[in-house]
Structure 1
Amino acid sequence: MMGKLKSFEIVLDNNRSVFHPGERVQGKCVVDVKGELKLKALKIFMRGLAKVHWTEPRSTGTRLGSYTEHYNSEVEYFFKRQTLHGADIPDQPRETLSDGRHEFEFCFELPFQCIATSFEGKHGNIRYWLKGELEKPWAFNHKTKKAFTVISPIDINKQEYQLPVENSVEKSLCCWLCISGPISVCARTDRRGYCPGESIAISADFENHSSRTIIPYATLHQTQTFFANGKSRLRSTKFTVLTGLPITPGNRATWDAQLLKIPAVSPSIINCGIIKVEYYVKVALHIPGAYNLSVHLPIVIGTVPYRRFSPYMVSYPRVIEEVGVSYFDSRMLPVPPPYREMSPPLPAIEAPPTYAETYSGAVDIRDEDDDDNRGVNMGDWTYTPMYTYVYGYRYRPPPAYSEIDPNPVTEDQASNVAEQSSNTRL
């Protein structure tokens, strides 16, 4: 009597679901058999693919009616395979799996460069998955599939992402022959780079010299751009909304670090040739009976959370070169701690990043070649992308700039440090 396949699934080590470029993806294929099962080979594949597809209606201009035009594009990042059991050679003897549970280990390595962050969009996706295939003699092959998230790092601690973004706009309302005073918006963010879970601190100045009551508000927007066959398709999504108090005629209002929460969204995608994901903050004024006045502040959603200054960080002394003589600036040298027998505790190690399921939820990862009319697919064929998320984030405004040193070095401390430095050199 021929054996029966009870279950067939892919299990990743430590139940990992998020990986970074250059890391190893390893785990095992688990096959549970009732009786004895004959097979030719057990294979596993790992693939990374960016895919775009959308349709547009077209008219022929004749009685033939209309037709649908398809736009498709693909970028394959990698395709790897391993044979875990049996032989991938024709006319080889068949293998037999005995009754019970069998585990077959595998290990792949992701490319270190040139792969984009996982993404699921309206007209395309960037997807990475493992597929196991159990080849049986004189029967349909059984398949199982497991997708995982790849995050291409964007470190928002870089200087380019720490600079604020600012924009302003002004207009006057026109009613018949009357022109009102100007309405203006000047808005800025505290920085350019953020991670999901953080809040964008928006500062703004609103002036209303018109005869109408206006309402300020801010929204977070995502734009998805898909490219195929020389054309592009754009989709925009609005997330969090922040609304301010009405501003009556002749008055002004100010926002001082109003917080706009970032949900669990995909990071910005800027290194994929056929899919681009961008974000901006829209700060606007709702004007009754007229077009709203707004400014766009482009931001970047990253993957490496913002690191605030740690009190355990050490500043190295500044060395000044002057006419061939090196000496230390005594004000830059830290005052040595008092002697103690017990070593001080080590600084706390920064916690590893945490991840959250994307707001859009699970998707079906079946492709055209995963047709299951014969009921041979096994396991869970759904997938939910996981992205970096900062839990418990609390906004802390940056310290005000001051020419005065908050921790001045006294003359006695400076002289002691200089004397110790001189003795060390001797």
Structure 2
Amino acid sequence: MGKLKCFEIILADNKSVYHPGERVLGQVIVELKGDMKMRSLRIFMRGVAKVHWTESRSTGSRLGSYTEHFNAEVEYFFKRQVLFGGEISDGRDTLTEGRHEFNFSFELPMGGISTSFEGKHGSIRYWLKAEMDKPWSFNHKTKKAFTVISPIDINRPEYQTQVESSVEKTLCCWLCTSGPISITSRTDRRGYCPGESTAISAEFDNHSSRTVIPYATLYQTQAFFASGKSRIRRTKFTVLTGLPIAPGTRGSWDSQLLKIPAVSPSIINCCVMKVDYYVKVALHIPGAYNLTVHLPIVIGTVAYRRAQSYCFTQSRFYRETQAQFADMDFLPLPPPYRETITPPPPFEDPPTYAESVGGAVDLNDDDDDDGCNMGDLTYTPMYTYVYNYRPPPCDDHGEELTLSVAPPE
């Protein structure tokens, strides 16, 4: 890179996770081995939800097939600051040899932005990009992504209710009809954080002539929307397997725990994608279709508080922030992907985070193809994670189960 020895973005306190309404503070570090002329040094902060996938189409002729692209994009914000030089200038400002530290400060919107997400056919991504505008030369760039978590407090009453479902079927073999096989299953609540476990209770009635095996699986559904079409992808995570249930007998689970890994929170406030979760409780039936029930759950960002029920509107944080908002005239936010402007929920204890089970992604995009980028262009989302989750007390009926984590499909 010639005279440019170091060009990077450092976030204050090495912070990597932010919530709506927070300030993103940091420094752009420039280290030169000699004086360098430039028009300006700028930094940008951007938040974008982007979707893309392709589908093969047949022409119905000898020309064969072609590929159709589906794209959609929502820009949440785009902000910029000039750190050195002029906004619009033909001048040649000189940055002297040595190390330089340029402070920057941006404020995230209080509402209307979704949680960071990296999916198969799209992403919700937030990043900073610093750029040296150099005369008669390629611009130097450096980039750094960070995670934004839009709050979902699972302590709210709507996330504390149980989710229950049941199903029954009868097996037929030629002229013989067996007795019914049924599942009745429920979760202890509807909302969870990564690191917690959903407690599954179930009754399995097997009046058939076959031995069946119960199991439960955590699924994520990614839905992407573009050009009036959608693309769905399901990913299987943790799997729980129970003991076989012999013909003519009954089996039961009493609060069996299904661990939730470091997955993205549910995303319900973005118009180009949606992320949902459900627990599938099923019976494997040899020689027949499995019997299944789906229990929809919500993955949130504020851990479950066991000691006391939580009322957000009674908190001091809420009262003080609402008092500040009382004299402000907010314009209504357009649906469907924007949220009501509310302060993020308070934390009794500092939240802890873990890297997404999806792993790292490449930050290069269409604007980063000139070969003049510096720094680490990989990024891994960080999500709220409960490291010391204590499951609720439950009766142990002595059934042995196995637990495994399935790799993303």
In structure 2, the residue matched to 1:79 is 78
Distance 2:286 2:2 in 1: 73
Superposed counterparts of 1:133-148, under 5 Å: 133-148=131-146
In structure 1, the residue matched to 2:174 is 176
**Equivalent pair of 1:362/1:382 in contact (CA under 8 Å):** yes
1:14 and 2:13 correspond: yes
**Equivalent pair of 1:361/1:384 in contact (CA under 8 Å):** yes
Closer, same or farther in 2 for the Cα pair 1:71/1:32, shift >3 Å? same
Closer, same or farther in 2 for the Cα pair 1:398/1:193, shift >3 Å? farther
**Equivalent pair of 1:3/1:35 in contact (CA under 8 Å):** no
Closer, same or farther in 2 for the Cα pair 1:3/1:359, shift >3 Å? closer
In structure 2, the residue matched to 1:268 is 266
Q: 1:387 aligns with which of 383, 389, 396?
A: 383
In structure 2, the residue matched to 1:31 is 30
**Equivalent pair of 1:217/1:244 in contact (CA under 8 Å):** yes
- 1:350 offset after TM fit, Å? 3.5
Superposed counterparts of 1:201-350, under 5 Å: 201-310=199-308, 350=348
In structure 1, the residue matched to 2:318 is none
**Equivalent pair of 1:145/1:381 in contact (CA under 8 Å):** yes
Deviations 1:25-83 (A, max 9, x none): 01010000001111110000000000000000000001111100000000000000000
In structure 2, the residue matched to 1:424 is none
Superposed counterparts of 1:95-174, under 5 Å: 95-174=93-172
Q: Structure 2: which amino acid aligns with 1:101?
A: R
- 1:91 offset after TM fit, Å? 2.6
In structure 2, the residue matched to 1:200 is 198
Q: Structure 1: which amino acid aligns with 2:143?
A: K
Distance 2:121 2:15 in 1: 28
Distance 1:3 1:151 in 2: 39
State the identity as a percent: 74
Closer, same or farther in 2 for the Cα pair 1:308/1:398, shift >3 Å? farther
- Counterpart of 1:64 in 2: which secondary structure? coil
Deviates more, 1:83-92 or 1:206-215: 83-92
**Equivalent pair of 1:128/1:147 in contact (CA under 8 Å):** yes
Distance 2:131 2:250 in 1: 66
Higher relative contact order structure (alpha carbons within 8 Å, sequence separation ≥ 6):
2
- 1:398 offset after TM fit, Å? 8.4
Distance 2:219 2:180 in 1: 27
**Equivalent pair of 1:3/1:37 in contact (CA under 8 Å):** no
1:57 and 2:60 correspond: no
Superposition RMSD in Å: 1.7
Distance 1:49 1:216 in 2: 42
Distance 1:385 1:57 in 2: 31
Structure 1: stretches of 5+ with no match in the other structure: 317-348, 400-426
- 1:310 offset after TM fit, Å? 5.0
Count residues in correspondence: 360
- 1:369 offset after TM fit, Å? 1.0
Distance 1:255 1:240 in 2: 17
In structure 2, the residue matched to 1:190 is 188
Deviations 1:10-33 (A, max 9, x none): 000000000000110010100000
**Equivalent pair of 1:3/1:38 in contact (CA under 8 Å):** no
- Counterpart of 2:247 in 1: which secondary structure? coil
Distance 2:229 2:19 in 1: 31
- 1:140 offset after TM fit, Å? 0.7
Give 1 or 2 for the bigger CA radius of gyration.
1
In structure 2, the residue matched to 1:343 is none
In structure 1, the residue matched to 2:336 is none
Distance 1:89 1:263 in 2: 49
Distance 1:237 1:394 in 2: 26
